[in-house]
C-alpha cells in the first residue's frame, strides 16, 4: 500500500506520518487490494482538518474530519473509513449469500415430448442446483443470468459498461454492425471482443 501525506499550511512531521501509517494499516484488512491512501492535512485557524482518500482496485472511500487536534482528526477520519469499508463488505457478502433462485430449464430431450419452459427470472439471478438428483443430471442446464440493453452502442461505450460489470463479460448490440457482440475480460486484464461471422 502506498501512503502519501500532504500538508497544507502545516508541516508534516515524522510523528504525524507514523501515526497516519499506523492508523491506515487497519484499512488493509477491510479493503481488498488497497493500492493507495492519500492523507491531506490542513490547518485553518483553530481547525485541524484531516481528509483521507483510500483507493482499492475497484472502489474508493473518502472521509473528512475537523477537530481542534490533528491526531484526533486523523483518528476520527480513519474510523469513518472503517465504517464505510465494513458497510460495503457486509453488503457485498450479503449479496453473495443471498439464496439463489431456481429456474434452470433442461434442454429438450431427443424424444417427441415437449418440456414446459422455465419461468422467466429477474436479471442477474444465479441458479444453483439444490438437490442431489439435479446435480447428477447429465443434461446441460440453460440458466438466465443477465439481460443486455436493446439500445445499440459503440464498442467504446460497451467497454466502459464491461469494466463496471461484476460479470466477466458484457453482451451488447454493436451500433456499427447492428449485430450482438460480447466483450469479455481476459486473464491479463484486457478486454476481448467476440463478433459473429459475416
Please state, in angstroms and rounded to a whole number, the distance separating the CA atoms of residues 61 and 185. 25
Query: Over the chain, what is the mean pLDDT?
Result: 75
Strand partners, 52: 39, 63
Strand partners, 2: 36
Let me know whether 6 and 87 are in one domain: yes
Query: Pick from 66, 97, 128: which residue ends a domain?
Result: 97
Please state, in angstroms and rounded to a whole number, the distance separating the CA atoms of residues 126 and 103. 9
43 within domain boundaries? yes
Please state, in angstroms and rounded to a whole number, the distance separating the CA atoms of residues 132 and 142. 18
109 within domain boundaries? no
Q: What is the domain range of residue 18?
A: 2-97
Out of 1-5, 118-122, 134-138, which region has the weakest mean confidence (pLDDT)? 118-122
Beta strands in 34-128 (DSSP E): 36-44, 47-55, 60-67, 105-106
Let me know whether 85 and 163 are in one domain: no
Nearest to 96 by CA among 57, 135, 59, 126: 126
Cell of 164: 463496471
Let me know whether 80 and 7 are in one domain: yes
The total number of structural domains that make up the chain? 2
Let me know whether 93 and 6 are in one domain: yes
Q: Are strands 180-185 and 141-142 parallel, antiparallel or unpaired?
A: unpaired
127 within domain boundaries? no
3-state SS assignment for residue 144: coil
Question: Percentage of the chain with pLDDT > 70?
Answer: 71
Confidence of residue 33 (pLDDT cuts 50, 70, 90): confident
pTM metric for this prediction: 0.47
131 within domain boundaries? no
Query: Pick from 97, 130, 161: which residue ends a domain?
Result: 97
112 within domain boundaries? no
DSSP conformational letter for 64: E
Instruction: Examine the pLDDT at 53 and tell me if it is beyond 70.
Output: yes
Model pLDDT for residues 149-194, shown as the tens digit of each residue = 667 888 888 888 777 767 777 788 888 888 888 888 888 878 888 8
Model pLDDT for residues 62-85, shown as the tens digit of each residue = 889 999 999 999 999 989 888 888
Confidence at residue 130, expressed as pLDDT on a 0 to 100 scale: 45
Question: Percentage of the chain with pLDDT > 90?
Answer: 10
Domain CATH code at residue 174:
3.30.505.50
Let me know whether 149 and 68 are in one domain: no
115 within domain boundaries? no
Domain CATH code at residue 78:
3.30.160.100
Amino acid at each position: 500500500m502506498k501512503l502519501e501525506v500532504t500538508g497544507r499550511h502545516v508541516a508534516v512531521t515524522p510523528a504525524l506520518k507514523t501515526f497516519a501509517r499506523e492508523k491506515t494499516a487497519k484499512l488493509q484488512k477491510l479493503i481488498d487490494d488497497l493500492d493507495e491512501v492519500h492523507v491531506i492535512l490542513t490547518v485553518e485557524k483553530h481547525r485541524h482538518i484531516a481528509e483521507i482518500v483510500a483507493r482499492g482496485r475497484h472502489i474508493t472511500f473518502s472521509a473528512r474530519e475537523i477537530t481542534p487536534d490533528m491526531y484526533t482528526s486523523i483518528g476520527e477520519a480513519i474510523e469513518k473509513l472503517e465504517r464505510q469499508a465494513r458497510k460495503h463488505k457486509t453488503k457485498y457478502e450479503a449479496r453473495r449469500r443471498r439464496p439463489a433462485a431456481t429456474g434452470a430449464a433442461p434442454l429438450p430431450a431427443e424424444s417427441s415430448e415437449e418440456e414446459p419452459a422455465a419461468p422467466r427470472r429477474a436479471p442477474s439471478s444465479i441458479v444453483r442446483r439444490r438437490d442431489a438428483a439435479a446435480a447428477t443430471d447429465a443434461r446441460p442446464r440453460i440458466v438466465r443470468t443477465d439481460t443486455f440493453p436493446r439500445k445499440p452502442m459503440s464498442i467504446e461505450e460497451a467497454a466502459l459498461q464491461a469494466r463496471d460489470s461484476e460479470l466477466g463479460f458484457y453482451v451488447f448490440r454493436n451500433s456499427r454492425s447492428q449485430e450482438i457482440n460480447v466483450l469479455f475480460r481476459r486473464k491479463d486484464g484486457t478486454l476481448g471482443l467476440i463478433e459473429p461471422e459475416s
